[in-house]
Amino acid sequence: MKRIIIALAIGCTVLAGAAIAQESPIKKRQALMKQNGEATDLIVKMFKGETPYDGAAAAAALTKIGGMADEFITLFPEGTAKDSYAKPEIWQNKADFDSWAVKLKEDSAKAATAAAGGMDALQPAFAELGQTCRGCHEKYRVPQ
Ligand code: HEC
């Protein structure tokens, strides 16, 4: 019986370790960015005509992008460039890096509003948002 309890305790420790690894700032910031990729894909599919245009769904996806920005920039503690695609320049220019996240919030809010006006209204705002994604990646993300 004692052995079973010890085995269970060890099992739990391993599980807790896995849960902590899952919550690491690197995993968390990558998961948030992955959501951004999914949100923009959803809208790109509408532009390509692969799915019907849905202004409410586009606005929701854009609002989600803006909603992650504040949290995203808190997930870069010193020493976490390693094992990620974050460039060391982030820590040398943290204020500039953070300003890209502010721009991301502004652009996504503008695009979310524009989405109600249909695809033609959304197009320029979405293009501007895309430039912000690319701009930050060019400076601060290791090309994949
Ligand atoms: C403030 C700068 C910044 C902005 C703005 C930004 N990104 Fe990123 N993105 C990053 C960084 C840095 C990484 C690498 C993170 C890491 O590996 O730790 C990344 C990674 C990603 C990834 C890969 C995630 C993975 O699976 O590891 C995707 C997809 C992505 N970004 C999409 C987007 C999209 C779409 C936008 C615009 C809507 C965007 N990003 C805007 C900085 C930014």
Q: Is 140 in the pocket of ligand 1 (CB under 6 A)?
A: yes
Q: Which CATH architecture has domain 25-140?
A: Up-down Bundle (1.20)
Which one of 27, 32, 33 would you pick to mutate in the ligand 1 pocket, going by the greatest count of ligand atoms within 8 A of its CB? Answer: 33
Taking only Cα atoms into account, the Rg of the chain, rounded to an integer number of angstroms, comes to 19
Q: Is the CB of residue 29 below 6 angstroms from any atom belonging to ligand 1?
A: yes
Q: Is 63 in the pocket of ligand 1 (CB under 6 A)?
A: no
Question: Residue 144 has what pLDDT?
Answer: 83
Closest CA relative to residue 115, chosen from 126, 101, 105, 128: 126
Report the atom number in ligand 1 closest to the C-alpha of 104: 5
| pLDDT at res. 94 | 98
Task: Determine phi and psi for 76, rounding to 5 degrees.
Answer: -125, 60
Considering only CA atoms, which residue is closest to atom 22 of ligand 1? 33
Identity of the amino acid at 61:
A
- Predicted confidence (pLDDT) per residue in 65-112, tens digit: 999 999 999 999 999 999 999 999 999 999 999 999 999 999 999 999
pLDDT at 42: 98
Phi-psi region of 39 (alpha: psi -120 to 50; beta: other; left: phi over 0): alpha
pLDDT digits (tens, 9 = 90+) for 22-80: 579 999 999 999 999 999 999 999 999 999 999 999 999 999 999 999 999 999 999 99
Taking 90 as the threshold, does the pLDDT of residue 6 lie above it? no
As a whole number, mean pLDDT of residues 130-134 equals: 98
Tell me which residue of 130, 140, 143 sits closest to 92, measured CA to CA: 140
